Amino acid sequence: MKYFLIITVIVLFIVMGFVTFGYTPYETSATKTNSFYIDENFDIVRKVLVRAPSLEKMVELSHGVLIEKKQEQVDLSIEKLSLRNPNWMIEAGGYFKVRHQNGYLKNKILTLRQNVRLTKDCMDVHISLTEPVATLLEHDVTQRLERDGGKTKVTQTVTMKIQYRIIHTKRIKAIVDTELDKAISECIAEEEHGIREVVRIYKERPIHIPIIKSPKGKPKS
């Protein structure tokens, strides 16, 4: 009987130790790239994405709600925008906050940094997560839209890094990696769908041209 009790206690300690210490952090990341074409001239696509409420619409199409948007800096001058200067360029930066409406990030708020660079023939967008949210450590998106004849070529790259507490077996690691791969694929698909829909919806609508202001509130010159 005493022997049985000793064995039982040992087994309980082993089980408790496995439950307590068997789950350890597993950090993994992945990157995917996708390219597609929009059957519209780059000038039209650029105008829509810059002047229309494109961010709000794309967040909505990705099952989120835009709860805050702030522009922090604009590098803009008459010289750079001169029609006589084919090398004009605009750079802008800011951040926005999104509340997710579904998935494992449901009701979580993500703060994202956005930088945009515009030229006559190209538009570069970089979006990155400013701080970890739940199991999402990093979320990085780059988009390049460029003139390609009478069409617009779009290249997207998405990188995600996550961390889960798991039992470290090859099978469980493989499951986590597979789920991450699916999440990145879904993100890329949603981004592509969002860009296409925004262009489709707003390309023939009158678009209000916003007044770009300096941090002091005076129009840039």
Half-sphere exposure (CA, 13 Å, Cβ side) for 12? 6
pLDDT at 110: 92
Q: For the whole model, what pTM was predicted?
A: 0.77
Q: Rounded to 5 degrees, what are φ and ψ at 135?
A: -90, -5
pLDDT digits (tens, 9 = 90+) for 81-105: 555 677 788 888 899 999 987 777 7
CA-closest candidate to residue 32, choices 209, 160, 152, 147: 160
Domain 23-202 has CATH 3.30.530.20: yes
User: Hey, where are the domains in the chain?
Assistant: 23-202
**Higher-confidence position of 205 and 150:** 150
81 versus 144: the higher-pLDDT residue is 144
Using pLDDT thresholds of 50, 70 and 90, give the confidence band for residue 14.
Answer: very low
pLDDT at 63: 80
Average pLDDT, the chain: 80
User: In Å, how far are 111, 115, 192, 198, 206 from 132, measured between CA atoms?
Assistant: 9, 19, 24, 29, 39
pLDDT digits (tens, 9 = 90+) for 101-137: 777 777 889 999 999 999 989 999 999 999 999 899 9
Gap between the Cα atoms of 93 and 69, Å rounded: 11
Q: What is the DSSP-derived secondary structure letter of residue 103? A: G
Torsion of CA 196, 198, 203, 208, to 10 degrees: -160
For the chain, the first-to-last Cα distance in angstroms comes to 91
Q: Select the more confidently predicted residue: 140 or 17.
A: 140
- pLDDT at res. 210: 45
